[in-house]
Amino acid sequence: MSFNKISDEIIEMIFDYCEENNIEVDILNGVLYINSAFGQYVINKHNVTSQIWVSSPRSGAHKFSYNEVQQLWGLKEKELYSLIISELA
């Protein structure tokens, strides 16, 4: 599966979660912006490194790579979707 396809899927999953939970969210030029009580999250694809970069007002900056074996976006012990959802809860 291509980087663009799998990165678009996770960004869409996060977008859908936010909409379903009445969290202000927008996508502009492929960049996901989430406005929460804690501040603004910025989530975007970095094509050169095949990573998703996250700027979180709660936990700082993160660079997630896709693990094909586990089929998830990971960074050490962190998983992208779980991190965002837990911080927004």
List, run by run, the mean pLDDT of 10-residue segments along the chain (89 residues).
Answer: 94 98 96 97 98 98 95 92 96
Q: Identify the pLDDT of residue 77.
A: 84
- Torsional sign, CA 75, 1, 70, 14: positive
Structural domain count, the chain: 1
CATH number at residue 51: 3.30.920.10
Pairing of strands 24-28, 60-67: unpaired
Pairing of strands 72-75, 78-79: antiparallel
Range of the domain at 72: 3-88
Q: Identify the pLDDT of residue 34.
A: 99
Q: Identify the pLDDT of residue 63.
A: 97
Q: What is the pTM of this model?
A: 0.94
Q: Identify the pLDDT of residue 49.
A: 97
